[in-house]
A = this chain, B = another copy of it.
Amino acid sequence: MEKYNDTTYAILGILTTGNRSGYDIKQFMDQSLNHFWKISYGQIYPTLKRLEQEGLARVETASREGKPDRKAYFLTSKGEGALKDWLETPLQNVPAERNEVLLKLFFGRHQSKEQSASLLKEYKQKLEAQYETYEQIEMMISGDGCEEGDAPYWLFTLDYGKRVTRAAIDWCEETMKKL
């Protein structure tokens, strides 16, 4: 069996949500998975092509006068199987996130306390904005029938984002005091 990377499985998974075209997938990702998985068109379109070539998805091309074609991708049973296989595979690595703020603070000895403080302040603001975004998405999902289907799982991931972001905000505050 071919090997795919996690990004490919992300796309495979999104196809189960009813988002069918490359464009749809990008939209959906920007709204829902953005806090833990980003992706660009430069990956989406070639990946969809490959999925189709290898029988994990089939495509329906709708020609619409004037407008560009709209290609809708659908998972095949082989595709569904591949997704489930991947879901079952144990975790490989919990990869360290790269954090520019920590990297700069690590070398903070070489700058003034004020500079370190403004770095933390800037970071805190971005984290707070992120936190609000999570709350907004949460409200959108929570609305209708959130006890069923995908919604509970989506809310779990948002809860993660909120908790971790909250912890980071607290750290910013505490660290500013210690400087």
Contact = CB atoms under 8 A, between A and B. Distances in A.
Interface of A: 6, 9-10, 13, 16, 32-38, 80, 83-84, 86-88, 90-111, 115-116, 119, 122-123, 126-127, 130, 149-150, 152-154, 156-157, 159-160, 163-164, 166-168, 170-171, 174-175, 178
Contacts of A86: 104
A8 to B, nearest CB: 11
A1 to B, nearest CB: 18
28 contacts: A6-B100, A6-B103, A13-B103, A16-B109, A36-B97, A36-B98, A36-B103, A37-B96, A37-B98, A37-B103, A38-B95, A38-B96, A87-B107, A87-B111, A91-B122, A94-B101, A94-B130, A97-B97, A97-B98, A102-B160, A105-B156, A108-B156, A116-B153, A156-B175, A160-B171, A163-B167, A163-B171, A164-B164
A127 B97 CA distance: 13
Nearest to A154: B106
A156 to B, nearest CB: 5
Contacts of A92: 100
Contact of A6 (B32, B38, B98, B123): B98
B168 A9 contact: no
Contacts of A6: 98, 100, 103
A127 B168 contact: no
A170 B175 contact: no
A164 B175 CA distance: 14
Contacts of A95: 38, 98, 100
